[in-house]
Structure formats: C-alpha cells, structure tokens
Amino acid sequence: MNEAFDLTGKRALVTGANTGIGQAIAIGLADAGANVVAAGRSSCDETVQLIAARGKSAETASLDLSDGSFGVDALEKLGELDILVNNAGIIRRADSVEYSEQDWDDVIDVNQKAVFLLSQAFAKSVFERDGTGRIVNIASLLSFQGGIRVPAYTASKHAVAGLTKILANEWAAKGINVNAVAPGYIETNNTAALRADAKRNGEILSRIPAQRWGDPADIAGAVTFLCMPASAYIHGAILNVDGGWLAR
C-alpha cells in the first residue's frame, strides 16, 4: 500500500461508533490499517464484529459523553491514540419558542462541550509524548445553515466548525491536524422518517445535484483521508460531503 494512504500502526478512537456514520468510519479506518477503538454509550460490539470479520483489529470502549469528566477520564485510560474522530452527537426537535433548557443543555453537552474536552485531552497526550495526531470532527450542513426546530443542534454544529478552526490555528504547528467533515443527507436510522415521507424525500432529492442520498461509507472515505499522511497539509478545513447540496 502507498504509505501516503496507509494507517497501519495507528490507533484511532471513534465516538458514537455503534451504528450509522460512526460505524462506517470505524470500519473505514480499520480497512486502512488502523487499530480502532469503537466507543459509545451504547454497545459497539456489532462494529467490532464487522471489523473482525474483515480480518482487522478493533476493540470497544464505554464512553458517556453526556458527562464531560467521564468522557475525558475514559479517554485517558485508553492509552496512546494517534487519531480522534468526534462523531457522537444527539438531536432534539421542538419549535424554538418552546425549546426546553434541558434539551438545550443535553445537546450542547454532547455535541459541543464533549468535542472540545476530548480534543483537549487528546492534544495534551500527544504533546506530552512529543508526537503527532489527527482530529476529525463531524460537523453538519447545519454548521452553515439554520435548519428548523433544532436550535441547539444548529448552534452546536456551528460551534463544531468554529472549534475545528481555532484548534487548527493553535495546534497545526505542534503536530496535530484538526479538520471536520460535514455530512449531507445520509441514509441512517436518523433519516428513516424523512426517506419514508414521499413528499419530503422528493424535495430533498431535487436539491441534491448527485440525485441520491449519501451512504455512511461516503463519510467514512472522507474521514479516513483526513487521517492519512496524504492530507498532511490540510488544517482547519470543513469538507462538505453532501452530494453538492451546498453548491446549489
């Protein structure tokens, strides 16, 4: 394998790796040679089994990102990591005028606060051993757009974009690449209702130049590239993987 596209010997933590995009990212990194830690509040055993079936290495870790201190403590116990993928996220829907403070706090804690705290802990570990590392954050189309009825999610994903840039500014010269991938409309459990709604599905597809929903593997490919030596000079980028949605 071309060394520029090889992750052999690297150890990667993927949060929210139990299903969907996170699971696909974990598999993609493993296929590229990384030893993967699939982490989540729910069991990631299925992900590890899928990776093992491909003849690759993976392990699971329990990570409750609703509790920032627990997440950081768990990360520190995992030992040396070369790659951190901040994929875990939640969403709560309600009209903004009725949106509860509890829903706001829950979403911000997982989608924004945990991204910063895990990135901070990861960077400290890398700097202590005078190493190098990669952080890839999962942003969203709502890092750029407003959306409807998801105020905390929109705010948190705008924050992910901002955090990606400030951390890149501070850490690029110190050996850590920080970038983000912004998925478009992807076929996951979270979008099942939208895809089942013929009218809404049609409206979405008519806006996507690629004329299809994305596959979780589409996101995995972008994330894996941003973890590879081939992307060494990419810092602070937010890569839209949206079938062209934002271009229209």
User: Closest by alpha carbon to 74, among 60, 85, 58?
Assistant: 60
Beta strands in 55-212 (DSSP E): 58-62, 83-86, 133-138, 176-183
Task: Please state, in angstroms and as integers, the Cα–Cα distance from residue 170 to each residue in 5, 61, 133, 177, 235, following that order.
Answer: 26, 29, 14, 10, 10
152/143 Cα distance (integer angstroms): 12
Q: Select which of 99, 153, 185, 233 is catalytic.
A: 153
30 within 8 A of 53, measured Cβ to Cβ:
no
3-state secondary structure of 152: helix
3-state secondary structure of 93: coil
The yes-or-no answer on residue 233 being catalytic is no
Q: Which residue numbers are catalytic? A: 153
